[in-house]
Structures are given as C-alpha cells and as structure tokens.
Amino acid sequence: MNKAERTRRFIIEKSASIINRKGMAGTSLSDIMEATKLAKGGIYGNFENKEEICMEAFLYLTETLARRLDGAVNLGRNAKEKFHNLLEAYKGNKDVEGGCPILNFGVEADDTHPNMKVYVKKAINSSQKRILNIISDGIANEEISSTVNPKNFSVKVFAMIEGAILCRRVVENDEQMRIVMDSIWEEFESFLK
C-alpha cells in the first residue's frame, strides 16, 4: 500500500463511524477534517467529493461487519451451529458506532443517493444470501426439512433482525432484540430434522 492509499484508508477509517452516526447529509467536511486532523486539501486531494468518502465509508463498514458475521458462521460445524453463531453475532453487534450501516445508509439513500442505494442493495442481498446459504446447505445435508423455502426465510430473518437493531438503538435496551431472536430461533428449530 503506497502513501496515497494509506491516506485514503486513514480518512475512511476515521470518518466511517461519524458518517454512520450522523448520516451522509449530517456529516460535514469539517467533521471529517476534525476526525482526521487533515486540512480540506488533504481530504479533497484523496477524494473527489464527500459522496465518494461516504460510499467508501459504507463499503468499509459493511466489509468489516461481513467479516465478523462470516467468521462467526464459519465456526459452526453444521447448519444449527452456523445459524446459532450468526444470530449471536447479530445480538452482540453493539460495537458499530451509530448502529447498522445497512439500515442507516439505506434509509438515507433510498430517495436521495441513487449510487449509494446500489451499494446498500448489494449489502442487503449479501446479508440475505448468508442466511440462505446456511439454510440451503442444511437442506442439502439433510439437517433441515426440505419444506423450508430458503429465500423466503432469509428475507424474513434479515428484515426482522434489522428491525430489532433499530428498536434496540431507539429504545436503548435489548428486550425487543431478545424477543425477535428467540422467535427466529424457535422457528429455525422447528425446521431441524
């Protein structure tokens, strides 16, 4: 990694949590300058505009989240363990400052940032595919009933988890997250052979 790449990475890492917390519109260039201790020229010498920084910040945040979730899933030896590990990783995901980047950026991008909307859509599809793969592999390995529709289940689980994440942040407790996760797990267990 050369100096320019290191500087870009530094700016992204320092500004990502701010953008996730304050939003794309709510984050000012001065916020980014303060976080990085760089002058305006130092930032715009590495990025074309604030939108590019926001897009790179989103990719950084979602790649970090995906690595953590994939790591949890990969520790499982079978569908039951993989799905359990995934739910536990989501339950424990309080360390991303500002909450889930997919939810945060998605809400802001849906009407006002078409380029960001494309990135968020890919992240949603990837998150749902992680769940779909666990269920599909479980069916193929005869661990899960073949009556389950992996696509429908993955969409429902992802939407329920994102809703629970939002509630946890707004209500400032884990009760609704626990209720949602228990409900998901109960349904999943009913599929096991």
Rounded to two decimals, the pTM is 0.93
pLDDT tens across the length of the chain (193 residues): 899 899 999 999 999 999 999 999 999 999 999 999 999 999 999 999 999 999 999 999 999 999 999 999 999 999 999 999 999 999 876 656 788 999 999 999 888 899 999 999 999 999 999 999 999 999 999 999 999 999 999 999 999 999 999 998 899 888 999 999 999 999 999 999 9
The predicted structure's pLDDT at residue 95: 57
The predicted structure's pLDDT at residue 110: 82
Asked if 66 and 93 count as a contact pair (C-beta separation under 8 A), the reply is no
Q: What CATH number labels 55-191? A: 1.10.357.10
In three-state secondary structure terms, 174 is: coil
CA distances from 51 to 55, 60, 145 (A): 6, 14, 45
In three-state secondary structure terms, 110 is: helix
